[in-house]
Amino acid sequence: MRIAYDLRILGPAMHGMARYGLELLRALLAAEPGLEVVALVRRAEDAAWLPQAPALQTAVHGLAPYGLAAQARLPGILKALKPDLYFCPFYAPPARYQGPMVLTIHDMIHLRFPDDHGLKHRLFYRLVVGPAARRAAAVFTVSQHSRDDIVELLGVDPRRVAITPNGVGPAFRPLAPAEQAQAARDLGLPARFILGVGNPKPHKNLGALVAAHGLLGSDAPPLVLVGVQAGQLPAAQAAPGVIYLPHLGDQGLALAYGAALVVVVPSLYEGFGLPALEALACGAPLIASQRASLPEVVGQAGLLVEPDASSLAQALGRVLADEDLRQGLAQAGPAQAGRFTWAGAAQNALTVFGRVVEGTWP
C-alpha cells in the first residue's frame, strides 16, 4: 500500500496534531514495515523530524497547512504521486481532492465554542473541513465524544468515522520517590506543587484552576502552570503562589507530572485530553473535569468533578489532605493509561486503510 501522508504541520513549535501525526506514523511503520509512505512536508528541514525507515520518502512542496494555495495545488500534487490513499492527520486536507482520502478531525472546538474562534474558523469549517469530511472515504478521530460531535455538526455518516486515540511516549512513566525530588530540583520547582498543563484559551479553563488554588488559602502548595505566561490569564494576574512555565519539552513535562502532588485538568472541552493521559501514565494523582471526552480517558483512575472553582478547590482539598487517596490514584493511573497506545491506534488505522483501498469500507 502506498500512502501520501500529509505532515505539513511539522516544525519547531509543534502542537498536539503534529505529535499525533508523527507518533501514528512511527507506529504504522513499526506495525507494517513494508508500508510505502510519501511524507509531504513544507520545508526540507522539517524532514529531520521524521522517523528513519527504508520505505519512507519525503516530498517538499512549500505549502502552508491552512493556506488557500494548498487547497488549489495539492490535488494536482497528489495526483502526480499516485498514492493508493491520501491521509491527512489534521483538519485541512484539499477539499476537492477526488482520490481515496482519510483525514483526522481531533475535535470540534471551533464550532462548539464559535465566539472564542471567530468567523474565519467557522468559514474554514464550512468551506473546507465539512466538505472534505463528507467526501472522505473515512474520518478518524480520537474519542467517542469527538465522533459524536463530528456526526452531529458536520453531517458525516457515523459508519465512516473510526476512533484512533492518542497514546503516550516512553518518557511518560512513574518516578520513584528519589526521582521525584530530583525532578523538582531539575525543573527549579519546589518539592511540593500542584500542576496544571494547557494554554490560555478559554476552554482550557485554567483561570478556574487559579481561582480554586486561591480558595485553598495561603498554606496551599504553589500552583505550577505549564503552557501559560504570566499575564495571559486576565483573572489570575495578581494571584499569589502561581509559577508559570511557558514551555516544557516532553522530557521536562514528564518530570513535572511525575513530581507533582496532584495534576488538575479543568477543561470545559477536549477532543481527547492528552495532558490527562500523560499524567495518568506518570502515576500522578489526577483531578479532571467531567466534561466532553475526559471521562473516557480518565475512567475510574482520577477524580472527575465539575470544572468550577469551588468544585475544583473541594477536590484539591481532598487529595492534598488524604495520603491514601493520593496513593490510590497514583497506582490506578498507569493501568488506565495503558489502555491507550499508539500501537493500538496504528492497528485501527491500518484496518481502515486496507478496507478503503479494497473498497470495502465502511
Grid coordinates belonging to 213: 488554588
CATH number of domain containing 235: 3.40.50.2000
Looking at the fold, whether 99 and 7 belong to one and the same domain comes out as yes
∠ CA 38-17-186, nearest 5°, is 115
Number of structural domains (the chain) is 2
The pLDDT assigned to 238 comes to 61
Residue 160 sits in which domain range? Answer: 2-167+342-358
Looking at the fold, whether 66 and 156 belong to one and the same domain comes out as yes
Q: What is the DSSP letter of 137?
A: S
Tell me which residue of 7, 340, 9, 290 sits closest to 143, measured CA to CA. Answer: 340
Looking at the fold, whether 186 and 315 belong to one and the same domain comes out as yes
Looking at the fold, whether 161 and 241 belong to one and the same domain comes out as no
Looking at the fold, whether 127 and 252 belong to one and the same domain comes out as no
- The structure's pTM equals 0.93
Looking at the fold, whether 208 and 157 belong to one and the same domain comes out as no
Looking at the fold, whether 121 and 61 belong to one and the same domain comes out as yes
Residue 212 lies in a domain: yes
Cα dist. 196→113, 204, 224, 275 in Å? 22, 10, 6, 9
Looking at the fold, whether 158 and 244 belong to one and the same domain comes out as no
Residue 172 lies in a domain: no
> Cβ distance 291 to 262 under 8 Å?
no
Q: pLDDT tens digits, the chain, 362 residues: what are they?
A: 999 999 999 988 777 899 999 999 999 999 998 899 999 999 999 999 999 999 899 999 999 998 889 999 999 999 999 999 999 999 999 999 999 999 999 999 999 988 777 888 888 999 999 999 999 999 999 999 999 999 999 999 999 999 999 999 899 999 999 999 999 999 999 999 999 999 999 999 999 999 999 999 999 999 999 999 988 887 666 678 999 999 898 899 999 999 999 999 999 999 999 999 999 999 999 999 999 999 999 999 999 999 999 999 999 999 999 999 999 999 999 999 999 999 999 999 999 999 999 999 99
Looking at the fold, whether 162 and 71 belong to one and the same domain comes out as yes
The pLDDT assigned to 237 comes to 60
Looking at the fold, whether 352 and 330 belong to one and the same domain comes out as no
pLDDT tens digits along 59-102: 999 999 988 899 999 999 999 999 999 999 999 999 999 999 99
- For residue 75, the tally of other CB atoms under 10 A from its CB is 18
